[in-house]
Amino acid sequence: MPKILAVGEISNGVLKKASRETTSVGKRLGGAVDAILLGSGASAGVAELAKHGADTVYVGEISPYNGEAYAKAVVDVVKSKGYDIIILPHSWIGRDISARIATALNTGVISDATEISLEGDRVKIRKPVYSGKAFVNLKLKTSPQVVTIRPNAHPISEAAGAGKAETITVDASSAKAKEVKFEAKGGTRVPLTEADIVVSGGRGIKGPENFPLIEQLADLLGAGVGATRAVVDAGWCDHTLQIGQTGLTVSPTLYIAVGISGAIQHMAGMGSSKYIVAINKDPDAPIFKVATYGIVDDLFQVVPPLKEELKAALGR
């Protein structure tokens, strides 16, 4: 059985969903899984990760985030304890540290797995390439095997782990790049990449004064809010909401596209959503080709009654 290390993230003592995913995937692949939890309030996540099967949980306190220091902390644990497989989320942090970790261990990295399995002692993944226009199946030739998994694309499972905390030091003092300032953006909604439901607005909403329509629909559903590049470029919402090839990749259970044509570059960011709803007045819009449910109508006529129906159905 391979020895697996799942990398998790925590912020102010709140465990990121991705941490449960890497631990669950590790448990599913192998026998014993340990986890490493880095971030502020890390020890608060130990008991939580034990519920997904983590035995030893290495906890490291560090704030602000530092990619060099995080990577070094993981490398030190892998070198001193010996792990065969290291699983990270393909999140901001996972993308920032996975290749640093792999290179420091003189091995390779395969990333953004939408499917993952074990063949013998080799991890095999499937990942989208060319903005989701094709998939590739990959393995690493070298060990240890470093792999990142797409957030929201892998099931979370329960298993009893020992949950033994072991404190490690994370030291950013020698880092060559350091965060000197952080400005929070995006408000209090669920982070887009973690959201189970995402509601996105396109140029069909006509102007910034109508963006609240998208936000209200999202808030009713407890959903994340997204937008197309057309909306972002026009300055109708913050550009951190852009979904697509040059924006975020999301993989929610439900994606609701309002007034979005479905350009290939937009689809690159949301094509792996489980279900897609499209509201568009043009029956030939490409988004309907991928939609589970389509409504061909004027969004300004559809969204207000949709909000009322949802309020009634959800008792809000």
Partner 1 sequence: MNTLVLIKQVPDTEAKINVVGGKISEAGIKWTISPYDEIALEEAIRIKEKSGGTVTAIAVGDDSVQNALRSAFAMGADIAIHVKVENYQMLDSFGIAKAIASAIEGADYKVILAGRQGADSDNGQVPYILGTLKGWPVVPFAKKVEVSADKATIVCEAEGGEATYEASLPVIITANAGLNEPRYPSLKGIMASKKKPIESKTADISAETKIEVLGFEPPPARPAGRIIDGADAAEKARALVKALREEIKVI
Ligand X SMILES: Cc1cc2nc3c(=O)[nH]c(=O)nc-3n(C[C@H](O)[C@H](O)[C@H](O)COP(=O)(O)OP(=O)(O)OC[C@H]3O[C@@H](n4cnc5c(N)ncnc54)[C@H](O)[C@@H]3O)c2cc1C
Residues of this chain that bind ligand X (CB under 6 A): 202-204, 228-231, 242-247, 259-261, 263, 265-266, 269, 280-282, 285, 298-300
Label residue 216 exposed, middle or buried (CB < 10 Å: 0-12, 13-18, 19+): middle
Give the helix/strand (H/E) hosting 75: helix 67-81
Return phi, psi of residue 142, to 5°.
-110, 165
Residue 66 Cβ vs partner 1, minimum distance, rounded to whole Å? 9
One of 67, 166, 171, 203 touching partner 1 (CB under 8 A):
67
Q: Which is nearer to partner 1, 51 or 139 (CB)?
A: 139
Please report whether residue 95 would count as binding partner 1 according to CB under 8 A: yes
Does position 64 interact with partner 1 (CB under 8 A)? The reply is yes
Six-digit token string for 11: 């912020």
When CB distances are held under 5 to 8 angstroms depending on the partner's kind, the choice from partner 1, ligand X, none that residue 137 binds is partner 1
Binding residue (CB under 8 A) for partner 1 from 33, 46, 218, 291 = 291
Looking at the Cβ atoms of 110 and 291, the one nearer to ligand X is 291
CA–CA gap between residue 270 and residue 254 (Å, rounded) = 10
Which residue of 1, 14, 81, 142 would you call a contact of partner 1, by CB under 8 A?
A: 142
CB of 237 to ligand X, least distance (A): 11
Residue 148 has phi, psi (to 5 degrees) of -110, 145
- Contact between 286 and partner 1 by CB under 8 A: the answer reads no
Nearest CB to ligand X, comparing residues 88 and 299: 299
- The site for partner 1, by CB under 8 A, has a size of 91
160 binds, among ligand X, partner 1, none (CB under 5 to 8 A by kind): none
Closer residue to partner 1, CB minimum distance, 52 or 127:
127
Smallest separation (angstroms) from partner 1 to the CB of 3 = 20
Nearest position to ligand X, beta carbon: 244
* Cα(163)–Cα(113) distance, integer angstroms: 26
Rounded distance between C-alpha atoms, residue 316 and residue 221, angstroms: 10
Max intra-chain CA distance, the chain: 62
Rounded Cα gap, residues 271 and 6, in angstroms: 26
What per-residue string of b and e applies to 89-114 under the rule 16 or more CB within 10 Å gives b? Answer: bbbebbebbbbbbbeebebbbbbbbb
